């Protein structure tokens, strides 16, 4: 971490102990070196997610072609709660399920808190995403399961969940894995 970054971290530390803020700042700077996303405050407040789609139904290339896609059709209550928790600017891994079984890129929430347009009852949530970056080296489910530090990742623990929360340390590690 450079001198300016260390000064910022030192000013935000509480009582000399390494707290959540410092940990998130360090994760941000480490992540930012590789992917240069946003500013420090957005990184501190952002949540990270993983969304799954079967590529024969809706693939990464479909999202890129649309420029902004609606994430709808989710009919699992936990996934619905995760969609409702998303905020504009949050980033998500895009995971191809059934075929490929790999994280292929990163997308960003552009519109949050909308009702699923395919739901006539009005109880299911949706968000809009835009593509941010396609990985040159997709990260496979096999690689993720082989990494002990990702054993508690919702992708591994809750394998049928289509919209999962990703912790900042998991996000950083998976991004490092995508670098090759």
**pLDDT tens per residue, range 153-178:** 999 999 888 999 999 999 999 999 99
**Average model confidence (pLDDT) across the chain:** 82
Question: Taking CA 111 as the corner, what is the angle to CA 160 and CA 106, rounded to the nearest 5 degrees?
Answer: 55
DSSP 14: B
Q: Report CA 44 to chain centroid distance, whole Å.
A: 14
- Structural fold of domain 47-179: ph1033 like fold (3.10.590)
pLDDT in tens, 2-61: 444 444 333 333 333 444 555 555 555 555 544 544 445 455 667 999 999 999 999 999
Please tell me the pTM assigned to this model.
0.74
96 contacts 108 by C-beta, under 8 angstroms: no
pLDDT confidence of residue 46: 74
142 contacts 101 by C-beta, under 8 angstroms: yes
pLDDT confidence of residue 21: 52
């Amino acid at each position: 971490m450079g001198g300016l970054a260390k000064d910022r971290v030192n000013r935000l530390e509480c009582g000399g102990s390494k707290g959540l803020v410092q940990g998130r700042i360090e994760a941000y700077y480490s992540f930012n070196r590789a992917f240069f996303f946003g500013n420090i405050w957005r990184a501190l407040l952002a949540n990270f997610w993983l969304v799954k789609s079967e590529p024969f139904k809706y693939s990464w290339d479909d999202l890129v072609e649309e420029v902004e896609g609606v994430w709808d059709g989710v009919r699992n209550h936990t996934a619905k709660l995760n969609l409702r928790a998303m905020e504009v600017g949050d980033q998500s891994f895009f995971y191809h399920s059934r075929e490929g079984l790999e994280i292929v890129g990163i997308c960003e929430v552009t519109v949050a808190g909308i009702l699923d347009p395919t739901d006539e009852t009005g109880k299911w949530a949706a968000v809009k995403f835009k593509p941010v970056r396609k990985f040159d080296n997709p990260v496979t489910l096999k690689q993720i399961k082989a990494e002990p530090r990702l054993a508690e990742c919702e992708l591994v623990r809750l394998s049928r969940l289509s919209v999962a929360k990703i912790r900042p340390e998991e996000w950083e590690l998976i991004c490092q894995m995508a670098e090759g």
